[in-house]
Amino acid sequence: MRRSSILAALALGAAFAAVSTPAAQAEPPVVSGARKDPRVATIRAAIERSNAVAIEALKMGDAKLYGARFVPAGELLQVSGRVIRGRADIEQWFSNQVTELGTLHEGEIVTRDVFPLGATLAYETGRHKLTFAQRGVPSATLEGRYVAVWKRGPDGRWKVLRAIEVPRD
């Protein structure tokens, strides 16, 4: 697999880590019809909590913690067309990326908008800028955009169903 595809895929997976930073607060979310939906704030908060877990997993190189954010049949759809299917394969892919790129050194991931799709589905759009490091030395900086489809389970928790890289213009 080309290094750029690997980097883009890792960025996509990491892109679920919406954190509250000054830059994130400076960029207002898109104003849309979904903003009037009272569920948006609750769903967004749940997604951002899960995304914070992703950042911690990236910092620690913890594939199990990262994978637990996905439904068992979750998928990562890479811009190259490759699809990584299922939590176990996502965890293995994550471990391989940590071996190649290292762990997250610093990063900013911003949820742009959240749109409910009925009672148990929602999609999130966003952007990211992530710098990875091996043994403290930066190894790669990734920037991009993503779309994630989230599913609420019977326990009320939102998990990633599909993560989709958005190609650069």
pLDDT at residue 32 above 70? no
pLDDT at position 20: 30
Token pair of 53, please? 């877990």
Q: Which residues pair with 75 in a beta bridge?
A: 85, 162
- Answer positive or negative: Cα dihedral of 98, 104, 110, 114: positive
Per-residue confidence (pLDDT) for residue 109, from 0 to 100: 77
For residue 64, pLDDT beyond 60: yes
The DSSP bridge partners found for residue 165 are 146
DSSP 97-137: HHHHH-EEEEEEEEEEEEEE-SSSEEEEEEEEEEEEEETTE
* For range 140-147, the mean pLDDT: 91
| 165 has pLDDT over 60 | yes
Res. 33: pLDDT tops 90 = no
Task: Name the band, by pLDDT with cuts 50, 70 and 90, for residue 98.
Answer: very high
More confident residue, 3 or 36: 36
pTM: 0.79
Q: Which residue segments constitute the domains of the chain, with CATH numbers given?
A: 3-166 (3.10.450.50)
Mean pLDDT of 119-141: 90
Give the chain's mean pLDDT. Answer: 82
Residue at 1: amino acid letter: M
